[in-house]
Structure 1
Amino acid sequence: MLIKSIFTNSSGILVSRILGFLRDLLTASILGANIYSDIFFVAFKLPNLFRRIFAEGAFTQAFIPSYAKAKHKIRFSSMIFLQLIGFLIVLSLFVTLFSSLITKAIALGFDTKTVELAAPLVAINFYYLPLIFIVTFMAALLQYKHHFATTAFSTALLNLALIAALLISKGMDKYEITYYLSYGVLVGGLLQVLVHIIAIKNKNLCKIFTFKKHNKKEENRFYKSFLGATLGSSTAHISAFLDTWLASFLVTGSISYLYYANRVFQLPLALFAIATSVALFPMIARAIKNKDESKALNLMRKSSLILIALLSIATLIGIVFNNEIIWLLFERGAFNENDTSNTALILTMYLIGLIPYGLAKIFSLWLYAKEKQFLAAKISMKALGTNIVFSLIFIIPYEAAGLAFASTLSGFILLILTLKEFGMKNFKTLYFSKDSI
């Protein structure tokens, strides 16, 4: 079942990423690496950041263990949904009202004119967050039932919507194209919601929307775990956000170089590490709930060994052929040879950290399944602090490439600290003992 689930997730992610690269190819060709691509990436960065650390990673890591232990699952899940979607709608309205201030905060290096251009896009893109939370909520329930296909393949819908927006707006004013892209983000979110509603109906899970009276103790336990998981799953994503913020002080195009390089880096990370962790987590959570740690550790051993092999190959290929990869994917239209060279160097800096980031995802699942979210959060914050220090050290001499390398160093710190809490004795037993599980 584990291999089948990993394959399903990987297949869906691969389809989505192929479409994503096609989207990036069109974006690079039509917008290039300039002020217009920068403001769109900044506008999409904020909801994307919240989506990854709040709606997707943190929610799933806290919700599945709590849902597994809940005595009245329908009551528990329905009230959690109602409370969080209400909060996100209010937050989105707040961002709309104060979009200029929010934009200035996330891109301090932008001048007043650039902030004015970016602010409306920030407001539009942020409404993707409540949409994707609805998707994530339904996806968590489907994952608990060992159904991964809908979520894995539905991510392609966002890319299809953005590709359509680019093709429709091709030839228009570049600023107008950014509006088409922003509304394309919302269309993609709505399509993802639709296919998940269909899957929920087919799995007879529609009762989750009945909103019955709930158990306050179960709710409080979830939010305690959720707060810790939100902090704990944030390191890599806040690091990327920090890169964008600091890059706004560098030469025009730096934000775009970081974005394109990170997109390539995210392919093997998502295809192998994220696909594995998504499939593995419900199984580990169930095993821990049933007090079967041997089964949980055995699953982790098999998964991590496969992951090490796959990520090692991906790292080697990516570093050796970095320039060729960026040239093949992006060098056309407004994206020139100099853009390729700059992006390829940043890609190498990111890829050095591929293995530690991937393994940290696997071993952190042990902490989340045991509901040690605040311990994971403490580890995450230490790694983030390291990233901030290294970013400030490397940004002046190495500019955007220095920011990417700082992020990579924080990945090594994250892995080391996670393994320390997992237990080096357990780690050695898994891989080096004759009595390995």
Structure 2
Amino acid sequence: MRLKSIFTNSFGILFSRVTGLGRDVLMASALGASMWSDMFFVAFKLPNLFRRIFAEGAFTQAFMPSFVASKHKGVFATAIFLRFLLFLMAFSLLITFFPEPITKLLALGWGRELIAKTSPLTAINFWYLDLIFIVTFLATLLQYKNHFATTAMSTALLNISMIAALYIYMKEDPKTVAYALSFAVLIGGGLQVAAHLLTLNKLNLHRILVGGWKYRKSKDVEEEKKHFQSLFLPGILGNSTPQISAFIDTLLATFLMTGSVSYLFYANRVFQLPLAIIAIATATVLFPSVSKALKNKNETEAYKNLNQAFWLLSFLLGAAMVGGILLAEPIVWLLFERGKFTSVQTLETVSVLQMYMVGLLPFGLAKLFSLFLYASHRHLKAAKIAVYSLVTSVTFSLILMHPLGASGLALAGSIGGWVLFILTVKEVGTDKFMEIIRSKRSLYLLIGMILFSLLLYAINQMLLGYIR
């Protein structure tokens, strides 16, 4: 297992997520959990959804196996890049001229006046989708050569751009802040593209694209493109359950009280921190190695990586899950309660965060086990599992949203995460899973979780005494 690459990737993601939390702290202070914060989060929701889908491995896990197997990698990569980019640019132009229909789809519970105010923000933010696709495509080429640092660190450029906008316009009216944030999103996306292009050139990987363009008419890659197309949509769906679930939660939250969209956003940001720096960082590093091992029929090496990564994730994600549940109030108080973010909004966000944290361990481990489905080209099976998980999540969201509010939506997502994990393990092989957990490490994990929980409970009681 590539521990050095995992820690490098984790550090980069941690830096990006820390700057992201800094951004959210300033945003909470500037906008609180208000109408304008809800409007910006809705406008940013669709491009942010695709950012998470693309950047957190969904595109890579669909593209990488086909790229590894391709006989004409440059031509194949160039063909896929141009096809996607042209489609996204055309779609973005359509949204620019007709933003209200897509905004209405993002916020079904809102009235006409609020939709009209949000639509211009949607049109601006949507162009980030084009930029993040370019970033993700270039990142996949870098990952093929086992370079992860640039991609892991680059999200910080988006956050820094938004922080700068907040710093400059913090004291302006909420409308001005929301528009400044939207334009900062595009500037941050442009900086991410530039960082990847510089690294691509430094590693001489630009030759792949230059060669692909030069020889595009002399190499026949039609079969390879068809194979990729057969994997792409199932791959995207199969690897995007948490993001799609959170997207639907935002839509449903527009039917709840004002601020519900913001509670979900702030709590999900905290939830995504351990998920990204532990599970996503590990899966991103392991995927190229697992793909190459299975392609070379070296299953022993592939499952050795799985065993080692499983215990690493179990201990780290288990600790983060317990910590997130028991220390939710001090965490939210420390990060967000200032300016226009009140103590009442803190308690609402705490409840949502605790419900999200219930699903941290299953979502992280499902990410790990799903590598074997994508590396062995079982994208359709992964997609079916994701649909079962998503249906479960949406069903429970509709059941729980009115009695529990935004917390019910978060809990429903966690229930869907457990379904995703169980079904993914079953497909990869229950026997493989049982072989892994038949270890003294299982006992160590259980004892460690109990002792850690008692310690954190005592710490939480002390912190609550100080806060209150």
- Matched with 2:337 is 331
Distance in 2 of aligned mates of 1:172 and 1:51: 28
Please state how far the C-alpha of 1:430 moved relative to its aligned partner.
2.9
Distance in 2 of aligned mates of 1:294 and 1:430: 13
Q: Which residues in structure 2 correspond to 1:370-381 (within 5 Å)?
A: 370-381=376-387
- Matched with 2:166 is 166
Return the match for 1:399 from 405, 414, 434: 405
Distance in 2 of aligned mates of 1:98 and 1:301: 50
- Matched with 1:242 is 248
Please state how far the C-alpha of 1:16 moved relative to its aligned partner.
0.8
- Matched with 1:306 is 312
- Matched with 2:111 is 111
Distance in 2 of aligned mates of 1:426 and 1:348: 31
Q: Which residues in structure 2 correspond to 1:187-336 (within 5 Å)?
A: 187-210=187-210, 211=213, 212-213=216-217, 214-336=220-342
1:387-418 superposed Cα distances (whole Å, 9 cap, x missing partner): 11100110111111000000000000000110
1:113-139 superposed Cα distances (whole Å, 9 cap, x missing partner): 110111011111010011011111110
1:168-191 superposed Cα distances (whole Å, 9 cap, x missing partner): 112111111111000000000000
Amino acid corresponding to residue 96 of structure 1 in structure 2: T
- Matched with 2:140 is 140
- Matched with 2:36 is 36
Please state how far the C-alpha of 1:425 moved relative to its aligned partner.
1.0
- Deviates most, 378-387 or 42-51: 42-51
Return the match for 2:430 from 420, 424, 432: 424
Please state how far the C-alpha of 1:52 moved relative to its aligned partner.
2.4
- Matched with 1:21 is 21
Please state how far the C-alpha of 1:277 moved relative to its aligned partner.
0.5
Distance in 1 of aligned mates of 2:57 and 2:6: 17
Distance in 2 of aligned mates of 1:405 and 1:433: 31
1:8-41 superposed Cα distances (whole Å, 9 cap, x missing partner): 1110011111111110000000111000000000
1:293-338 superposed Cα distances (whole Å, 9 cap, x missing partner): 1100000110111000001111111111110000000000000000
- Matched with 1:130 is 130
Please state how far the C-alpha of 1:228 moved relative to its aligned partner.
1.1
Please state how far the C-alpha of 1:56 moved relative to its aligned partner.
4.9
Q: Which runs of 4+ in 1 moved over 4 A?
A: none
Amino acid corresponding to residue 299 of structure 1 in structure 2: N
- Matched with 1:52 is 52
Amino acid corresponding to residue 419 of structure 1 in structure 2: V
Amino acid corresponding to residue 117 of structure 1 in structure 2: K
CA contact (8 A) 1:56 1:133 kept: no
Please state how far the C-alpha of 1:234 moved relative to its aligned partner.
2.1
Amino acid corresponding to residue 121 of structure 2 in structure 1: L
Please state how far the C-alpha of 1:54 moved relative to its aligned partner.
4.7
Q: Which residues in structure 2 correspond to 1:84-103 (within 5 Å)?
A: 84-103=84-103
Give percent identity, aligned residues only: 53
Aligned residue for 1:87, secondary structure, equals helix
**TM-score normalised by L of structure 2:** 0.91
CA contact (8 A) 2:28 2:340 kept: yes
Distance in 2 of aligned mates of 1:170 and 1:306: 41
Return the match for 1:359 from 365, 368, 371: 365
Distance in 2 of aligned mates of 1:18 and 1:430: 33
User: Which runs of 5 or more structure 2 residues have no equivalent in the other structure?
Assistant: 441-468
- Matched with 1:77 is 77
Please state how far the C-alpha of 1:422 moved relative to its aligned partner.
0.7
Q: 1:433 to 1:294 in 2, by over 3 A?
A: farther
Aligned residue for 1:335, secondary structure, equals coil
Amino acid corresponding to residue 22 of structure 2 in structure 1: L
CA contact (8 A) 1:301 1:431 kept: no
Counterpart check, 1:344 vs 2:355: no
Distance in 1 of aligned mates of 2:110 and 2:209: 43
Please state how far the C-alpha of 1:42 moved relative to its aligned partner.
0.5
- Deviates most, 308-317 or 54-63: 54-63
Amino acid corresponding to residue 303 of structure 1 in structure 2: A
Q: 1:15 to 1:55 in 2, by over 3 A?
A: closer
- Matched with 2:451 is none
CA contact (8 A) 1:161 1:184 kept: yes
Amino acid corresponding to residue 320 of structure 2 in structure 1: A
Amino acid corresponding to residue 385 of structure 1 in structure 2: V
Distance in 1 of aligned mates of 2:52 and 2:366: 16
Distance in 2 of aligned mates of 1:132 and 1:399: 32
Amino acid corresponding to residue 351 of structure 1 in structure 2: M
Distance in 2 of aligned mates of 1:334 and 1:426: 51
Distance in 2 of aligned mates of 1:20 and 1:275: 16
1:340-396 superposed Cα distances (whole Å, 9 cap, x missing partner): 000001100000110000000000000000011110000000000001110011011
Please state how far the C-alpha of 1:208 moved relative to its aligned partner.
3.1
CA contact (8 A) 2:57 2:284 kept: no
Please state how far the C-alpha of 1:207 moved relative to its aligned partner.
2.2
- Deviates most, 202-211 or 38-47: 202-211
Aligned residue for 1:294, secondary structure, equals helix
**TM-score normalised by L of structure 1:** 0.98
Amino acid corresponding to residue 28 of structure 1 in structure 2: A
